[in-house]
Amino acid sequence: MNQFAISSLYTLEETIAKDIFNQVSYPWEVLDNIGNFILELGSRLPLDKFDKIGEDVWIAKNANIFLSAYIHGPVIIDEEAEIRHCAFIRGNAIVGKGAVVGNSTELKNVILFNKVQVPHYNYVGDSILGFKAHMGAGSITSNVKSDKTLVTIKSEYGNIETKRKKVGAMVGDNVEVGCNSVLNPGTVIGKGAQIYPLSNVRGYVEEGSIYKTAGEVVKKSES
């Protein structure tokens, strides 16, 4: 289904991880490969731009890392990214150029494209956030169903079985997620969509739409 295709959601030129998406159709198909991809790419990063810190952590020399942040590899933090006070990066994370990972935000098995902002009390796990995507304070991705069954990507166009227990959210370029929203397992949000604060989102949200409630999703031009 084209709505879920990588090219429909993301600008691949806006991530150092572009090559991980080769030869797959849907973004969640790369989730198992993030760690190994980091190890392979990290070994090739230019030494004049990146430092290897500890075990399997590559950080751009001009990135801003607060002393209170915790970073566990494998991780790549690209140029001019900012990892703020008490950020918790658990591993298998790629943080794009100019991205912001903020106070008490937790990352695990994720790709953040360039200029993503997860600046306040966010949890992002088993997820991919596109160029300039922004998650408001307290908004999170839920990556495991309450009944622990495998995640299905659902939409009015049909369903796709991921064959994975853990899938968070596939968030397209320039998406705005309002404060204290929950993106349930297998949520896919099209480019430029806007999610109202306090939303409980599941399934597919159309590109360029505004999600007000589960029963009220409108095109931006109609709002």
> What's the pLDDT score for residue 55?
87
> What's the pLDDT score for residue 69?
97
> What's the pLDDT score for residue 220?
80
> What's the pLDDT score for residue 73?
94
> What's the pLDDT score for residue 1?
67
Q: Which domains does the chain have, with CATH numbers?
A: 2-222 (2.160.10.10)
Where on the phi/psi map is residue 115: left (φ > 0), alpha (ψ -120 to 50), or beta? Answer: left
Output the DSSP codes for 108-164.
EEEEE-TT-EEEES-EEEEEEE-TT-EE-TT-EE--B-TT-PPPEE--TT--EE---
> What's the pLDDT score for residue 88?
98
Per residue in 78-98, pLDDT tens?
Answer: 999 999 999 999 999 999 999
> What's the pLDDT score for residue 222?
61
Flag residues of the chain having pLDDT under 50.
none
Cis peptide before 197 (omega within 30 of 0): no
Per residue in 95-133, pLDDT tens?
Answer: 999 999 999 999 999 999 999 999 999 999 999 999 999
Q: Note if the pTM is more than 0.85.
A: yes
> What's the pLDDT score for residue 86?
96
> What's the pLDDT score for residue 223?
54
> What's the pLDDT score for residue 219?
87
